[in-house]
Amino acid sequence: MFPLCRRGFTSVELAAAVLAVGALAAWALPHVGERFGSDREREQCVARLQAARGAVQSAAALLHGVARSRLDQPQPACEAGGYGDNPPRVDAAGNGNLCTANGRVQVAMLYPAPTLAGIVAGAGLVAVPGTPTAAQLAREGFEVRGTPGGLRLQVNGAIDPARCAFEYTAPRRGGEAPVISAVSTGGC
């Protein structure tokens, strides 16, 4: 007679294999999804922080140029609200305020001051006319903390907000530029 020749798998063997793969997938996929989800959230947090730093750096340079051109010169009245006198004025020491599309911005030593009314308003981190409040900034996902001579802009909801931040430090004397630190992402 013919010898018994076996080709393929039985349906029971296939069902057992499918069940084992399904059980492994059911266990592994939620863990993999959590890992990729947290990485994606971290990347978004870092990207927002880098964009905010870029806006601060650009605003500091732009407003410095405007402040130099308006140093101790009369300025027209500013339609938007914000910090300081209207019409705006930058005195001989480089302190005062400037009129921007978003409102009046506080300057100190010809650069945006390290305040909500200064660099935060000048960078347009919150789309409001005039000076943003801390609550409005928080709705955008940021928080400002004072530092010696400046401020730290940090991301709300980060694992360690103080380590998911960058700092803006005002110039110490005329002729110096502000210091904008690198973005710290260790706590994002």
2 pLDDT band, cuts 50/70/90, is low
Q: Checking DSSP bridges between strand 111-112 and strand 142-147, what pairing results, if any? A: unpaired
Q: What percent of the chain stands above pLDDT 70?
A: 80
Flag whether the pTM goes above 0.85. no
152 pLDDT band, cuts 50/70/90, is very high
Over residues 30-41, mean pLDDT: 58
Q: What tens digit of pLDDT does each residue of 64-91 get?
A: 999 999 998 888 888 888 888 888 999 9
Query: Please, are residues 90 and 72 in contact by the beta-carbon 8 Å criterion?
Result: yes
DSSP 46-94: HHHHHHHHHHHHHHHHHHHHHHHHTBT---PPPSS-BSS-SS--B-TTS
